[in-house]
Structure 1
């Protein structure tokens, strides 16, 4: 039987999304920024590495079939056979448009993997050179070539990156693996079914007690999907980079009050939803956890991630500092119960409510701390750099997703916040307005005169764009640095009276 996490995403893809798009592809893209003439990496060598990797990590050659009689997803480890369990594709490109099309295809194409056959990994090698120069010779990685490692999420998660690239580097250097896994992912699938869930079940029932499922958070939707309509999965993405002052404010606050950047960011996101949703004070959203709760799971490739509800109640008379401590305590309580299956929570909701809608699955919060251990850096004097895919097709499984990204690996840490919102439900102008309101809140919290110890939540009112311009100058880079990775909506689509001020149209739609 497949793990709880695998069953969750398998069913989710079928029920909520069209067959024409995959929301569970995980492409990792790297450009060769320098290569070695004396010790090059060849395509044939790469294929040998993948053979060894797939032989070691049986999850990369595991097939799946759905047992309709029992309603269960089953998994089976396939016998290792070279070149059978993954696809290696080579493409020659001449311009950036061809590159864009390849990237978009790797992100969204639902036909790249075959779960029934156990094909959950592929490598796409893209050559930026004249087609005639490198076809009739052994192909080596050269400057500006692109490597795409693409995985299906059923076999791979964010924490798997460290394991994959560590083994990948070791094999390229030595042509062998020093260690092998006796404990495989399929063993974990058996192990988790034997866990005693009683205490965690009691915790989650208490945590969600009296949560009003009939009244989900009232986001400023432009339209609504009917319950039986599948989502396209396509999204608008707006990225807000923080400048030095704001990053320092986050770090200093975290250090002063002994909380993590995750907890601080989650607290701010809660308050933002409180303001955005007309002061609804019982807020329940989704957060994700790596869920590798015992040491033996740390060195496995596989899908362990759990998606679970975070709920908080906001007292508008509390100070911001007091609220952050409340959120911190809630996080401490939840962390002991992250292995509890989402399916069990959904069953609990469905058995205790008249609605089949699960409101916390509409909104996701995530905080990503970058680590070089999770990336491909350099091997045998060949150096790589990661390519972000945010400027290409964006996919989202939620109505609204907020991702904080923190990178402390450089002398000057960087930090940003992105809003990824479903195109099925939101227009781009609405997402731009949402991101602007979020910046207003940050400006109020971290401007030079703010006192988070005495300022109550009720005093953190949303400012108009005109009122907050001066505050933005303190904390943000120029507004031109706010990256909109969606397609612009022409003002010709707006009613005449709103063509000059599209944000007024958003406000008008929300009020009507």
Structure 2
């Protein structure tokens, strides 16, 4: 990769990054599905906040957003195919006005159905157009017209992004910059003028030598059968792509504390911890050992990229052949080393790996069965501490009132883990293809996953993490244990008394 510093370039036009290219090429494919069903949505990410305390100045907030957009040219970038470049091109069109992308709606904020309807309409919005650089919206929901320039307690802020402009970490950066702007913090303009932009990164990324990286991935999959499928217990016939549902579940506080303690003791990050656990879980429910789990990497492999807003994320395939005779602690060390090797080669474009898989007769989506996503979250936004302006995030993924069954679901089964470090909480949810799995099956999946967490981490568990092999882990549920015990009793030979 090299440690040389990348310089800011005086360009407003150039090839897209690999991630932009992947999104641009993927969107029309998914559009063939959303066109058949106007209720299906994809690629719109909505962050929903509700004011807990204080009040918000609408004019000041709008100006703050415009300043953030002005500072980050990714929000002023058009994507289109260039005949001259024989590829997808990005063009910066200077504009820092929100115009029609800033909307205010008067609504009864306690009308749950109406709020749900508005949020859903933003998730399927047709306002976005990549070819015109229209990739961000802000929608305010206020309960009163008495003060047109204020949002007050219980009012909502909806920030809507297209994935071509932003990734998970970038959303954190967006809120950080927006907070600074709203609090009128002074920005070092000279520093901003010299800061690397996303279009600069895209140029340098295209110059990277991928030879060694390609060799790593081809070696990882050298003995892999791309036509093989994990033996997941599907309820229905396989189809190419499905709508998706979300099933959230919780674990108790005691178990959560033990997971945090184990993570600290092993000095391993949460993604690697839950990847190890997920491998064990998949082994127990399928009896397979060779798994390709799709994951996401931040892909910010240079310190210069830390503060740039843009779609850096890359998909990574964590292919590992599990040894069920290892102890869990041995397995954790194996996965830690494995992930370190993956990280060093994580900038290899996902579309290149897909192309490689298709050379061997793979289907259109060779890594579409299982995936894992682990995110660090903060469910409160302290926008203006001086005026006690505090907002709570409405987490749509586990909010019972905002249940979704119409999102495109290109991966059959995804385990999502959301971790709040400050509050030391962990939230889980499965996102699943609802044409492949019945909800009852996913409910059982969740119970079995909780069971394996208890077996591994619960303080009352007698499973020896240093000595006992992985294959001895249990996902048998209490009612199944009762049935097994009943069968054992009934199978006993009758005793003969004399």
Q: Which residues in structure 2 correspond to 1:403-418 (within 5 Å)?
A: 403-410=416-423, 413-418=424-429
Which residue is equivalent to 2:28? Answer: 14
Which residue is equivalent to 1:376? Answer: 381
1:105 aligns with 2:121: yes
- 1:462-508 residue CA offsets vs partner (Å, 9 max, x unmatched): 31441569xxxxxxxxxxxxxxxxxxxxxxxxxxxxxxxxxxxxxxx
Q: Which residues in structure 2 correspond to 1:282-361 (within 5 Å)?
A: 282-351=290-359, 353-361=360-368
What is the distance in 1 between the residues matched to 2:221 and 2:178?
A: 43
Note the C-alpha offset of 1:236: 2.1
Q: 2:271 is matched with which residue: 254, 262, 270?
A: 262
Q: 2:44 is matched with which residue: 11, 18, 25?
A: 25
1:57 aligns with 2:66: no
Q: Is the 8 A contact 2:297 2:315 kept in 1?
A: yes
Which residue is equivalent to 2:371? Answer: 364
Which residue is equivalent to 1:215? Answer: 228
Which residue is equivalent to 2:247? Answer: 238
Note the C-alpha offset of 1:71: 6.4
Q: Which residues in structure 2 correspond to 1:88-487 (within 5 Å)?
A: 88-94=102-108, 95-107=111-123, 109-129=124-144, 133-134=145-146, 138-174=148-184, 177-179=187-189, 180-182=192-194, 183-227=196-240, 231-232=241-242, 234-277=243-286, 279-351=287-359, 353-371=360-378, 376-379=381-384, 380-381=386-387, 382-390=389-397, 391=399, 392-394=402-404, 395=407, 396-410=409-423, 413-447=424-458, 448=460, 449-467=462-480
- 1:243-274 residue CA offsets vs partner (Å, 9 max, x unmatched): 22212221232233332332221111001111
Closer, same or farther: CA 62–393 of 1 in aligned 2, 3 Å? farther
What is the distance in 1 between the residues matched to 2:160 and 2:74?
A: 14
What is the distance in 2 between the residues matched to 1:119 and 1:468?
A: 56
SS of 1:155 mapped into structure 2: coil
Closer, same or farther: CA 118–468 of 1 in aligned 2, 3 Å? farther
What is the distance in 2 between the residues matched to 1:112 and 1:339?
A: 31
Note the C-alpha offset of 1:151: 0.7
Which residue is equivalent to 2:492? Answer: none
1:45 aligns with 2:55: no
Which residue is equivalent to 1:480? Answer: none
What is the distance in 2 between the residues matched to 1:68 and 1:421?
A: 39
What is the distance in 2 between the residues matched to 1:241 and 1:68?
A: 51
Note the C-alpha offset of 1:45: 2.1
What is the distance in 2 between the residues matched to 1:192 and 1:289?
A: 16
SS of 1:196 mapped into structure 2: coil
Note the C-alpha offset of 1:110: 4.2
Which residue is equivalent to 2:88? Answer: 73
Q: Is the 8 A contact 1:49 1:175 kept in 2?
A: no
Structure 2: 5+ residue stretches without partners: 1-14, 483-498
What is the distance in 2 between the residues matched to 1:78 and 1:459?
A: 60
What is the distance in 2 between the residues matched to 1:468 and 1:121?
A: 52
Closer, same or farther: CA 464–92 of 1 in aligned 2, 3 Å? same
Structure 1: 5+ residue stretches without partners: 470-512
TM-score (ref. length: structure 2): 0.84
What is the distance in 1 between the residues matched to 2:247 and 2:98?
A: 40
Considering only aligned residues, what root-mean-square deviation do their CA atoms show, in Å? 2.2
